[in-house]
Structure 1
Amino acid sequence: MDVSNADAVDLFGGPGGWDWAAKSLGINVTGIEKDHAACETRRAAGLGTVEGDVRDYGPSDFPAARYLKIGSPPCQPYAVNGLGKGRAALDTVLALAKRMASREDISHDLAAFEDERIGLVLEPLRWALQAIDQKRPYETITLEQVPTVLPVWEALAIILRAEGYSVATGRLSAEEYGVPQTRVRAIFVARLHGEAKLPAPTHRKYRKNVAQEDGDQSLRPWVSMAEGIGWGMTHRPGLTVTVGTGAGGADPSCVGGSGARATLYGERDAARWVPFNRLMSTDDLPAYKGGRKDQIRVYAQDAALLQSFPSDHPWRGSRTKVLEQIGNAFPPRMAEQVLCAALGLRPSLRSVA
């Protein structure tokens, strides 16, 4: 596939969460991705792909991509359920962003991080500033990360406003955009011409002990886990899909981190649950062999649906690699809403259903 004429470049493209949404809007995107399995998934999905390290590329490598730049830097160092190295280094990251704005070379400082992924959150700024200095600034920039990275997005907002951009930042929750899970993300939208905006919710926010039919009647009800994948919790959306595996499927901790197991089993035991329904006996399922018959396993295809990927998205790689790709991805349905708000486009009917 020829990627030289792409309208947009996606840093950290992953399996195509942002790019599947962009493609549905008629945007030709090339994604840079280091993980081979994710690249194979992207290629099978017909998405423009450069397999490599984003640090080895820059705006001049994608001369046609002036329309849009999107990115989801690795979240593991900053995630609440991670080791916390990124959160501990947050002040250093913010100081480095200011130095980048002054066009200082910070490569030595980035190399000093114990976890190289910590500094990757500043790659979008490097690309944006290089494009500005090359007299071909990006028209629109959209970014997402775990909520703890919002201070970095706010620091980038100050820098890019000084460069002439309108910028909007904030925390958005996935269920408010029709995704059947309660993933919260820090969002960044910058626009060179026109006002940068975050998308307005299309669905009601999930609140514990508040019925699905209650709340703002101008918005659609949030989508429960059971509605999203055909089984599971009926009184709430699914928990955040993260990275993790278990025998035969994703362990409950893969869909919510700390406390997820108790939440899932608690909902089931309270009879707020649609039973697991497959065209085979539970005795035939790998998840049940050698284990309890009442175990809950969220299979890859279900985790992908909880992330709002289409049911036919062509995942590639081992079960572990597929679950890793799904957990790391940005929900396409949410991505489409962010892109539409950023570009002033009208969402598809599918994205708001």
Structure 2
Amino acid sequence: MNSPGTQVHRLDGVRILDLFAGPGGLDVAAHFLGFKSVGIEWDRNACETRYAAGLPTIHADVSAMRETRFDEIPKSVDVLAGGPPCQSFSVAGKGVGRKRLDRVEEFIHRLVGGESEAQIDEDLHSLGDPRTALVLEPLRWLLKAIETEGRGPYNVIVLEQVPAVLPLWELYAKLLRSGEGRLNGVKYEADCWELKTERFGVPQTRTRAVLVARRPGLGAVEPPKPTHLPFELHRRRRNASQAEMLPGASHPSGAESRWISMAEALEEASRPKDSPVKVARLRTDGETKFFVVSNYGSGGDSKNRGRRLSSEPAFTVTGKISRNKVYRSIAEYEAEKPDRFNIPESGVLQTFPYNFPWSGNDRAQQVGNAVPPRLGMHVLSMALRGKAPTEDELTAATTWPTVPGATTESLREIGCGDRSQCPPKSHKVTRARREPAP
């Protein structure tokens, strides 16, 4: 396994290029699987977390990097991965992308068909939300690699997004299988699926649209095999069908395990002596027992806040997780005396290691934007090795290695340099938001 603490900023031997890398969900997954990666990320705060974690990073805009700095990507990279920003497709946003999927599909066909990219860029502005166009970037990076002398196509492509993007991934897969137009005969075995995170041991309900493509000869593309049972979102159904699936319940040999609850995940993360996860405050009579009231409405009613018990998986962890209210009892709820999850606890619900070094500002947003590393391990392992991650790898993924300060400084120098190539105004100093107390 590559250690972020010892293999600092060397980009030789890097296999995975992570577009829109965020604080490092896919990079953390790659690390525990033994693969080296480099991420491109425009947000300075996310970059600070990556530097502190020892993750090689280029602080840049993905589009600008492709257009003017493509030759800086190591030639050893043969895996293209990434999760384009989801805000314009997410049900939590205004949904500009969701409403214009047909237009985005049109742009995909135009790109592969060889139309002028300058004209395509001009027309993309009509979509309203510029983030919608970013879902095209992985395709543009692939086309750039195919058309750049001395590069050649990536061997493996792994993409993830919110479920609304699945039709676009299906179109991607169809085109990648065809090799038509600017793909210049380059074909892939490709498929895509909706994956529920709780089915892979992530203690939250979150559905992602995932695409995996591999060059012929690397084996058939198969979805990662779920390891846990699905969680029923409707309380009546889950009370009836999952009443027997309590912590510690036994299962037939080879059967999927029950989903992981918030209480189980936080209890496990609180055990190391240096852990910032402090569940003692959430215990009643020696038992970690609480309920969470969501920041979001339920059933189409913005005032009807959903609830989850500590014995259940968390709601989808978003950038607003700090606004979710945590109560130990109905009395606390009626007295309006809520607790909050701190940032390390929020990270654990995303399956980041308990001691992951969250840094910079807007940490809740960083946590919410990330790919759950445990899901990433299952997806990357199947895509790159054709098998699930081992139990030893999954167990190791609960603790992050210590990263020397010198490593962080070296990575910052590599990623930002003199800041002249960083995104405009991205180094503007802002006041840090006050994080919830542990």
TM over 0.5: yes
Alignment partner, residue 90 of structure 1: 101
Matched, 1:80 2:102: no
SS, match of residue 57 in structure 1: helix
Contact 1:167 1:197 in 2 (8 A): no
Higher relative contact order (CA 8 A, sep 6+): 2
Aligned 1:84-233 pairs, distance under 5 A: 84-104=95-115, 105=117, 106-134=120-148, 136-163=152-179, 164-192=187-215, 193-207=218-232, 208-209=238-239, 210-211=242-243, 212=245, 217=252, 218-230=255-267, 231=288, 232=290, 233=309
CA distance in 2, matches of 1:100, 1:145: 20
Q: Is the contact between residue 42 and residue 61 of structure 2 (CA under 8 Å) also seen in structure 1?
A: yes
Contact 1:6–1:62, Cα closer than 8 Å, also in 2: no
- Which consecutive residues of structure 1, in runs of 5 or more, have no partner in the other structure? 253-260, 272-281, 283-287
Q: Does 1:310 align with 2:353?
A: yes
What amino acid maps onto 1:113 in structure 2?
Answer: L
Rounded to whole Å, the distance in 2 between the matches of 1:101 and 1:55 is 17
Q: 1:60 to 1:157 in 2, by over 3 A?
A: farther
Q: Distance in 2 between matches of 1:352 and 1:21?
A: 9
Cα displacement string for residues 211-251 of structure 1 (whole angstroms, at most 9, x for unaligned residues): 32589741122101111113443432111001126xxxx11
Are residues 46 and 160 of structure 1, via their aligned partners in 2, closer, same or farther at CA, if it must alter by over 3 Å?
same
Task: Could you tell me which runs of 5 or more consecutive residues in structure 2 were left unpaired when the two chains were aligned.
Answer: 1-8, 180-186, 233-237, 268-287, 291-308, 396-438
Match in the other structure for 1:330: 371
Using the TM superposition, give the Cα deviation of residue 9 of structure 1 relative to its aligned residue in structure 2, in angstroms. Answer: 0.7
1:241 aligned partner = 317
Greater CA drift, 137-146 or 108-117:
108-117
Give me the TM-score of the superposition, normalised by structure 2.
Answer: 0.68
Higher deviation after alignment, 233-242 or 163-172:
233-242
Contact 2:224 2:379 in 1 (8 A): yes
Q: Percent identity?
A: 41
CA displacement at 1:351 relative to structure 2: 5.5
What is the CA-CA distance between 1:347 and the residue it aligns to? 0.7
Give the 3 Å change call, closer, same or farther, for CA 187–215 of structure 1 in structure 2: farther
Cα RMSD between the aligned structures?
2.5
Q: State whether structure 2 residue 391 is matched by structure 1 residue 349.
A: yes
**Equivalent-residue separation in structure 1 for 2:76 and 2:18 (angstroms):** 10
Helix, strand or coil: the match of 2:193? strand
Q: Distance in 1 between matches of 2:251 and 2:106?
A: 41
Q: Distance in 1 between matches of 2:20 and 2:143?
A: 18
- Residues matched between the structures, number: 318
Name the stretch that deviates more: 175-184 or 292-301.
292-301
In structure 2, which of residues 323, 336, 349 is the aligned counterpart of residue 251 of structure 1? Answer: 323
1:52 maps to 2:128: no
Q: Could you tell me which amino acid in structure 1 is paired with residue 219 of structure 2? A: G
The change in CA–CA distance for 1:346 and 1:88 in structure 2 (over 3 A counts) is closer
1:292 to partner: Cα distance: 4.8
Task: Give the 3-state SS of the residue equivalent to 1:175 in structure 2.
Answer: helix
Alpha-carbon distance between aligned partners in 2 of 1:293 and 1:84, rounded to the nearest angstrom: 33
Structure having the higher Rg: 2
Q: Which amino acid aligns with 1:52?
A: A
Whether 2:344 is the aligned partner of 1:301: answer: yes
**Does the residue aligned with 1:86 lie in a helix, a strand or coil?**
helix
Q: How far apart, CA to CA, are the structure 2 residues paired with 1:82 and 1:341?
A: 31
What amino acid does structure 1 have at the position aligned with 2:337? Answer: D
Q: Is the 1:203–1:220 Cα contact (8 Å) retained in structure 2?
A: yes
